[in-house]
Structure formats: C-alpha cells, structure tokens
A and B are shown apart, each in its own frame.
Chain A
Amino acid sequence: MWGMGDVVNGESVVKVIDTTKRAVIAEWPITGGPQPHTAGLDSAHHRLFMGSRLGGGHVVDPGKLVIINTDTGKVVQALDAVGGADEIFYDAPTSRIYFSGSSGTLAVFHEDDPDHFRMLGKVPTGSIAKSGVWIPELKRYYSAVPKHLVQLMPTTQYGVGDWLTEESHLMVFEEVP
C-alpha cells in the first residue's frame, strides 16, 4: 500500500496564503478530511472543495469531499467520495464537480446551491486511474489509466497466478447533459 498523508496528530487544515504578501494569513480546519490531497474551487459562490484521502493509502475507499466557505473558513458539507483523491474539477455551467481517485471510479457531484451538494453517481474508469483532466471547452473528461494487473478471483478454474495485464490507456468521456 502506498503510504501518504498520515495525519497522526491534530486536524488537517487549509493554510490560506495571501499571494500579494506571500504569507500565510489564516488556517481553516478541514473537518472530516484528514488527508487533503487535491482541491477545486467555485469562485463565483466562494466555495473551496478539498479532496481528502482516508486511511493512509491510494486505494482506501471512500475518500472525502469537504466543501468550505471561503468567506468564513467554515465547513459547509463533508461527503463520501472515491478513494485516493487526486483531482477535482468544478464545471460552472453544469454546477458539477468531478472528483477522481485511485479506486477505480470518477465521482460526479452536483451543487444544488452553495450550501447543498450531493453525489450524482460514480463513473467506472480504471484501477489506479487517479489522474485525469476535465476540459470544459470540449465537455470531455480524460482519465489516465496506468498499466496494471487484474487478478482473477481464485476459483476452481483460476488460481492466484492467473491475471490479465491491462496496458496504459486514456479513457475519453463526453458529458451527458
């Protein structure tokens, strides 16, 4: 298991840097998101999205989406997401949040209003496909799936040594309105 982000004491925080002063000016607790690893932003509604991992690994499901009000620094909501959080993209025209991680799916959330968010569903991508990019101009999501082995479930026909190799590839998705 890949180790990362183990917060062993205290809570995780967002450190707010004033880019003009080039200094940390505030710290906000990320309640419910112990291992922040990725972030997104709805700048119009002043909402910060922190993607957090849980349990110290890439493949521990679920992860967390923590929504923070950037006017107050307070947590608005913390929702289950996918494990191994690595990318968050906010798409303003559809009020959708795309949240990808290593555990094999891309979670899609909807911002009903700035204080209410919900998961619409999870789109299967690939194992360890943590990285991707939402291209709003094309309304497409590109998910990068690394080369990996698929272990077949041991049965009377298959043993521990039976696996498939899935080569690296991109999966290209189009938005369905």
Chain B
Amino acid sequence: MKRYATILFVLCLMSVCRASAQQTSKPYVNRQALMVHMTGLLRLVETIPIPTEGYIDHLSYDLKNQHLFISGENNKTLVVVDMKAGKVIHETPLGGNPRRPFFDAATNELWLDLGDNTAVAVSGTTFEVTKTVELTGGKNAAHRDPDNAAYDPVKGLYYVGIVTGQGNKDGTIEIVDTKAAKLAGSIKMDGNDPAGIMLDRAANRLYVGHGRRGERRERRQGD
C-alpha cells in the first residue's frame, strides 16, 4: 500500500512539473503595434473623459456649434461632446447599436444607422431622435446589420451598407432619402459584406470594398 502511495505521489509531482513547464514556456504574443520613432506630425493637446463602456464606433461633428457626436456602439447611445468646453453635454439612448453618423449643417440633423436595421435622424439642437426609417426587411430583420455608410449632403442621400451572415449573398446598399425620411432604394451587392464605402460626388460614383466570394463571419460588435 505504501509503495502504491509513493508511486501515486511521484506521478502527481511529474504532472504538476509538466503543467508548470507548459505555462512558463508559452510564448508571449505581442498584438500591439511596435512603437516607432515619431515626431512633428500631431501634437496631443487635450484628453476628454467619455462615459462609454465597450466598443465605440464612428464620429461626426457640428462645426458651427462645436459639437462632436460619438457612436457609443456597445452602450447604444449617442454621446455629444462640446469641443470648446472639452466635456460631454448629452447622451441619447438609441434603439440599436449606432454605427456611422453624418451631421448635415443645412438641415441641423445627424443621420446614423443602427444595428436594429434602421436609420435615424437626431436633432442637432435637442439631440433627440426625430425620424426613423426602417431599412429593407424592416426593423430587427434577421441577418441584416447596418454598418459602414456614406452621405451625400447635396442630394440628402444616406447610403448604408448592410452586412449579412457568412455564406449569404444578400448584402445591400440601402439608400435613404433624408429629406423625405424614407427608404429610396436598395442595391444588391452579390455578397455579404459591403465595407469601406466612399462617395465620389464628382464622378457620381459610390465605391464599396468587398470580398468577392468570401465571405466574412457574422458581424460582431466593434467591427
């Protein structure tokens, strides 16, 4: 019996030593960009605390009133910062995760797309949602996730890229007429991830980055 106990003790000791060796030999993976020498490009002049938790998506601004709009993607809020005062002055709760906002000074409206498959207008004065446009498939449509976007301030058209699930081909560019606050069209993209959207007004073109057959995984928060 004593002999068996000794053998068991030795086996346990070996196991602990092996586990310890595995832990210490695991290589450290640096996923941070290496620092490089940099001077004379941009100068940090201010830091401003903001109340978001989790991922933040894109920003826009109202130059006249010095307001900065931040998509609090994870919090489902629009955060408004007074750039002159350097502080947050408002948070607007939203129905879905906000993504790509554009402020239009001519209409005093901020348009942004939400993860619940809608696009909304927010007043540049009250910061409240004033208009809601459901995108193709309707609000909360399955496998339809608005993400990147572009805005034409002259025509008042808001182009929203809809990401769909892996293996699908039904991604679209939605066209929202912001003057009429209605869906004006939908362009089929034969893929599931229209991303990197850029309007070229002079050429009457919209450029949309896309993986040809491949297809990305489901969009996740923070993309």
Q: Is the CB of B223 within 8 A of A2?
A: yes
Q: Which one of A43, A138, A144 lies within 8 Å of B202 (CB-CB)?
A: A43
Report the minimal beta-carbon distance from B31 to chain A, rounded to whole angstroms.
4
Q: Is the CB of A51 within 8 A of B196?
A: yes
Closest to B69 in A: A133
Question: 1/0 per position for A1-13, CB-CB distance to B under 8 A?
Answer: 0111111111111
Closest to B38 in A: A121
Provide the residues of chain A in CB contact with B209, threshold 8 Å: 12-14, 30, 33, 36-39, 50, 52
Asked whether any CB of chain A lies closer than 8 Å to the CB of B138, the reply is no
Q: How large is the interface on B (under 10, 10 to 19, 20 to 34, 35 or more residues)?
A: 35 or more
Which residues of A in the span 1-47 have a Cβ within 8 Å of any Cβ on B?
Answer: 2-20, 22-24, 27, 30, 33-41, 43
Report the minimal beta-carbon distance from A113 to chain B, rounded to whole angstroms.
20
Asked whether any CB of chain A lies closer than 8 Å to the CB of B216, the reply is yes
Which residues of B in the span 52-102 have a Cβ within 8 Å of any Cβ on A?
Answer: 52-61, 63, 68, 70-71, 74, 81, 83, 86
Q: Is the CB of B58 within 8 A of A17?
A: no
A168 to B74, CA, bound (A): 12
Asked whether any CB of chain A lies closer than 8 Å to the CB of B183, the reply is no
Q: Which one of B32, B196, B202 lies within 8 Å of A38 (CB-CB)?
A: B196
Asked whether any CB of chain B lies closer than 8 Å to the CB of A118, the reply is no
Q: Is the CB of A14 within 8 A of B210?
A: yes
Q: Is the CB of B42 within 8 A of A108?
A: yes
Q: Is the CB of A173 within 8 A of B196?
A: no
Provide the residues of chain A in CB contact with B32, threshold 8 Å: 59, 61, 103-104, 127
Report the minimal beta-carbon distance from B40 to chain A, rounded to whole angstroms.
5
Closest to B215 in A: A8
Q: Which one of A2, A8, A127 lies within 8 Å of B214 (CB-CB)?
A: A8
Q: Which one of A11, A50, A138, A174 lies within 8 Å of B43 (CB-CB)?
A: A174
**B-contacting residues of A (Cβ < 8 Å)?**
2-20, 22-24, 27, 30, 33-41, 43, 48, 50-52, 58-62, 70, 82-83, 86-87, 103-106, 108, 120-124, 127-128, 130-133, 135, 137-138, 140-142, 144-147, 167-176
Question: Can you list 22 pairs linking A and B with CB atoms under 8 Å apart?
Answer: A3-B218, A4-B219, A5-B193, A6-B211, A7-B216, A10-B213, A10-B214, A12-B209, A22-B175, A39-B198, A50-B209, A59-B31, A103-B32, A121-B36, A122-B38, A124-B38, A127-B32, A128-B55, A131-B57, A142-B61, A144-B59, A168-B53
Question: Lowest 5 CB-CB distances: which A-B pairs, in order?
Answer: A36-B209, A39-B198, A7-B211, A173-B42, A10-B212
